[in-house]
Amino acid sequence: MNSDNRELEKKANSTANAAISDNTDELWQIVDEHLLHYGRDFVREFITSASGPYLHTATGRSIIDFSSGQMCATLGHNHPAILDAMQRSADSVIHLDSTMLSPSIAHLAKELCELLPPQLSKVLFLNTGAESNEAAIRLAKLYTGCFEIIGLTGSWHGTTYGAASTTYAHGRKGYGPGMPGTIAIPAPNCYRCPLGQCQTSCNLACLDFGFEYIDSVSVGSTAAMLIEPIQSAGGIIVPPEGYMEKLRALCDERSILLIFDEAQTGLGRVGTNFAFEQQAVVPDILSLSKTLGAGVPLAATITSKEIADNTREKGYSHYTSHASDPLTVEVGLAVVRTLVSEQLASRADEIGQYLMSGLQVLQDKYESIGDLRGRGLLLGVEIVTDRESKTPDKEYLAKLSQRCFELGLNVNRVGGPLAVWRIAPPLTISKSEMDLSLEIMDEAFSSTK
């Protein structure tokens, strides 16, 4: 084939691809025919670009993203610092053998650990939250010589084997046996006390009951407790005052390691660099993901020198093809530096209070808003049929969410059997964009029956 013919073929292919790309009906036919369904139905509108807090659709609409992508884009979509970091990696090195390191990994390890208490000083960089939790579970088992892992009802830690076995929000049925030794105790939902005791104040009865239950069913080989400091997928469940301190004491009495999964609460989201800072409890192992990569797959498992040294002597292995990848590590470094330089944690606290005030105005106006809760820019709005019965109204929540999307606001639904909006916009969102979002929510409530 001569060069002229090659050029003609290239142009023809380009024209054909463009025609397919511009024809959304044809694209949806391809999606329906070839994509494996993996959860909720796809939003039936193609996103062609994104910037800051906005998603831009193929039909020319701009939608404020109140879920930061998959809870990841904490700096906003396509933040310049992230794009610069990706370009630096593209200009130098994207991927290496996991035993080979780029300079950025040393900088990220140092600067990330400088944000943490000194006992959390050894870090492993991975890809996803599930993977970081798997690494944490393996560390705990090898260090303690035990195998039981305690979780909380309503938790979400991922869909790989160990993480899925300690995930109780949903997705458990139909997959056969989970990991041996998994135990769940009631989550501390103050709006819906799991024991039916705490109507006006919490006495931590659910925690006392939980550990009495553990003591009675455990085979005496409990390695760790894996929890989210604030449950997200479970419905934005914030532990009551004193819960974490008592939990720490109960774990210490039994030599149980405490693992905090801060996939969604870490790196400024809740108004501090990490959620555990608000609760005066330091975990033995910390897992990070989502917010660390701000849109690219980066996760971390962090622990103490003592646990790291002990497990290394025992031959700890969590070797993956993309551990310490230069591209994602470069992005993580940009995230940490942007978090610090722009004081995004304190900004999330300030603008989160502003958002909560706006939501309280809506709650006073609409009976269907049963409860508001959360910290910083991780807030939950629970929708009920009425405030007396507190019956979750998932059907109404779905209608509200669809109406918000039509009006230009993307809000995520969580809570398993509950009906909860998870509100988690980028930490860089402006007050004017927040005001517009509240106006859209107001309009959705007033126009949806």
Q: Is 28 a catalytic residue?
A: no
Catalytic annotation, pick one of 373, 375, 403, 422 = 422
* φ/ψ bin of 382: left (φ > 0), alpha (ψ from -120 to 50), beta (otherwise): beta
Catalytic annotation, pick one of 122, 290, 373, 403 = 290
| Helix 129-144 with 305-313: angle, nearest 10 deg | 70
* φ/ψ bin of 50: left (φ > 0), alpha (ψ from -120 to 50), beta (otherwise): beta
Count other C-beta atoms under 10 Å from residue 357's C-beta: 10
362 within 8 A of 388, measured Cβ to Cβ:
no
Residues, the chain: 449
- 180 burial type by CB count under 10 A (0-12 exposed, 13-18 middle, 19+ buried): exposed
Q: What is the DSSP string of 248-292?
A: HHHHHHTT-EEEEE-TTTTTTTTSSSSGGGGTT---SEEEE-GGG
Q: Is 433 a catalytic residue?
A: no
Catalytic annotation, pick one of 131, 134, 264, 269 = 264
Q: Is 148 a catalytic residue?
A: no
- 339 burial type by CB count under 10 A (0-12 exposed, 13-18 middle, 19+ buried): buried
CA dist., res. 446 & res. 449, Å (int): 8
Catalytic annotation, pick one of 228, 262, 325, 382 = 228
Rg, the chain, Cα only: 23
Mapped onto helix, strand or coil, the DSSP state of residue 436 is helix
* Residue 102 in tokens: 């780029």
Catalytic annotation, pick one of 134, 148, 261, 382 = 261
Q: Is 363 a catalytic residue?
A: no
102 within 8 A of 85, measured Cβ to Cβ:
no
Torsions phi, psi of 38, nearest 5? -125, 15
Q: Which residues contact 337 (CB under 8 A, 6 or more apart)?
A: 81, 111
- Residue for token digits 């794009």? 83
| Helix 3-22 with 24-34: angle, nearest 10 deg | 90
Specify the pairing of strand 182-185 against strand 148-152. Answer: parallel
Catalytic annotation, pick one of 148, 156, 373, 393 = 156
**What letter would DSSP give residue 219?**
-
CA dist., res. 274 & res. 345, Å (int): 9
Q: Which residues form the catalytic set? A: 156, 228, 261, 264, 290, 422
